[in-house]
Amino acid sequence: MKIPASERGRISDNLAALCQSFEPIRLERGRFAASGDYWHPANARVPILVAVFDDPLGALRSLHAETLVYFNRLATGSYFQDRADLSRYAARERWRQKRYHEPWVLEDFEFHVSFATGLPGIDAVDRLRRAIVDATGLFESRDHTTWTIDELTLFERRPDGFWRIAERFPFGVPST
């Protein structure tokens, strides 16, 4: 979302309060997108390498929905919107783009971690995935398949077009 810089103080205060109301979120079954996953290279709009996870409690989806609905009223657009060819999207995605400034939100939200986008083809995705596994062992052991999200990070776009971390908001007290 694009939100005016003049709203920064209000965003920080409200994100801090929201994050304090959430316990750390445990994601399970981390893996590179496979056949049947939304983000699998054969399904994605462009060849992309992403990791996907299961959210057994739906907590991350809840956090997404609360954040989207609250902060959407401050938004003036999105960086996605600036380059979107809306004619290629379904009617529901176009409506969400108009309403929420993003096409894949609410029940269509699919948390993922992007490793690379716009790769030349599925073969390039496979080569990069194998190189990451060979170099790091990522997702090869059970220790790598469960991740915990315990904070949100607010990013700001720099004048040169790159992003920088503006602020971090830790979640509330962990459950016992």
In a domain, 69, yes or no: yes
**b/e for 58-81, b at 16 or more Cβ within 10 A?**
ebbbebbeebbeebeeebeebeeb
CA-based nearest residue to 34, from 105, 136, 139, 117: 139
Gap between the Cα atoms of 48 and 119, Å rounded: 6
Domain assignment present for residue 176? The answer is no
Q: What is the pLDDT of residue 171?
A: 95
Query: Given this model, what pLDDT does residue 61 score?
Result: 87
Q: Mean pLDDT of successive 10-residue segments in the chain (176 residues)?
A: 75 89 91 81 78 88 86 67 66 81 76 84 90 89 82 86 89 67
Tally: H helices and E strands in the chain: 4, 6
CATH number at residue 155: 3.90.1140
Rounded Cα distance, 21 and 5, in Å: 25
- pLDDT computed for residue 48 by the predictor: 84
As for how many domains the chain has, the answer is: 1
Helices 59-72 and 8-20: crossing angle, nearest 10°?
150
- Is residue 44 assigned to a domain? yes
CA pseudo-torsion sign 156, 110, 33, 39: negative
State both tokens at 37. 């996953």
Inside any domain, residue 175: no
- Position 76 scores a pLDDT of 66
Q: Residue 79's pLDDT is what?
A: 57
Domain hosting 98: range is 5-170
